[in-house]
Amino acid sequence: MIVKQAEDYLKPEVIQTVSRLDLRARFIVEGFLSGLHSSPFQGFSVEFSEHRRYELGDDPKNIDWLVYAKTDRFYVKRYEAETNITGYLLMDLSESMGYTYRQDLTKFDYSICLAAALSYLMIHQQDPVGLMTFDEEIRHSLSAKSRLSQLNNILSVLAQSKPLGNTDLPANLVRVAGMIKHKCLLMLFTDLLTEPEPVLDKLHMLKFAGHDVILFHILDEAEVSFPFEGMVDLEDPETGNHLVLDADGMRQDYQDSLKELCELYSTECQLMGVDYVRLDTSMPFDKALLEYLSQRKMRF
């Protein structure tokens, strides 16, 4: 009998065999957690925020006995990590997100699995989370909630969403900014197949408005390695335009251009305080989750 390791359940090809999105999310999160040898927060410090009156259900370990000695009343220490964050998943529905070369998951499949896992994670720690999907305009919008039924709402929309047609990422980031009035954590899933300057400008706008932003740059494995050989006919899935080229002669130029693009996003996002996470569809999900958790210092 072959016993699977936790790492096996984090591989995209294994997740693809699970038909239900809620079970995929559960496997990703629980496989990730069981694969850790220690807490992902080991070494992180939580900053003391304030005292508050003890309430039924509070952990007695958090009672500040020095305050009790002075006031004869029970107070617990409140830490910054106790403050809930509100998150929104922003999902790109452009047709290019439906591409895969030889992986079991398309870029869109990979993104919704990751988004589902993050929803599962946030809701189970009682953080409100909402969802917006978009192409040339916002297609679906779910306001942020922390109750368990919200997970089903999010999974239902993701399961029924299809990557079709063109997209306008900068315009939709402006729409998102207008729809979300309070400071939130915005988790954007996109392949960034558009001019970078307008996107970076709108990301800066979101940061200026006080939002935290994590940008998941999702690429297909073939878009990273460019495994094509000889003369190939490449089609833009959104415009339908064709480009015939010598793949062997173009490989290095293509990879250099991709490296330059990713370095641009990495550098500019770091300067403005946006978390940039580059992934491709062959990568296990724990890479994305570890990056997310370490950046956000979220707790279970």
Among the listed residues 36, 4, 34, the one whose alpha carbon sits nearest the alpha carbon of residue 17: 4
Kindly report, residue by residue over 157-215, the tens digit of the pLDDT: 998 999 988 999 999 999 999 999 899 999 999 999 999 999 999 999 999 999 999 99
CA nearest 242: which of 252, 231, 251, 255?
A: 231
pLDDT greater at residue 221 or residue 40: 221
On the question of pLDDT at 94 being above 50, the answer is yes
Predicted TM-score (pTM) of this structure? 0.77
Lowest mean pLDDT among 14-18, 27-31, 91-95, 194-198: 14-18
CA distance 14 to 78: 41
Mean residue pLDDT across the chain: 82
Tell me how far apart the alpha carbons of residues 134 and 67 are, in angstroms, rounded to a whole number: 51
Average pLDDT of the segment spanning 136-146: 95
Looking only at the bridges linking them, the beta strands covering 87-92 and 185-190 are parallel
Encode pLDDT of 277-289 as tens digits: 999 998 887 777 7
**Domain edges within the chain:** 9-19+21-35+84-296, 48-81
Please say whether the beta carbons of 285 and 15 come within 8 A.
Answer: yes
- Binned at pLDDT 50, 70 and 90, residue 236 comes out as low
* d(C-alpha 244, C-alpha 23), whole Å: 42
Give the domain 9-19+21-35+84-296 fold.
Answer: Rossmann fold (3.40.50)
Q: Is the pLDDT of residue 77 over 90?
A: no
pLDDT at res. 44: 34
pLDDT of residue 43: 35
CA-based R_g, the chain, Å? 21
State how far the Cα of 172 lies from the Cα of 190, in Å rounded to an integer. 12
Write down how long the chain is. 300
Residue 280 phi/psi, 5-degree rounding, is -130, 165
What pLDDT, on a 0 to 100 scale, did the predictor assign at position 39?
Answer: 42
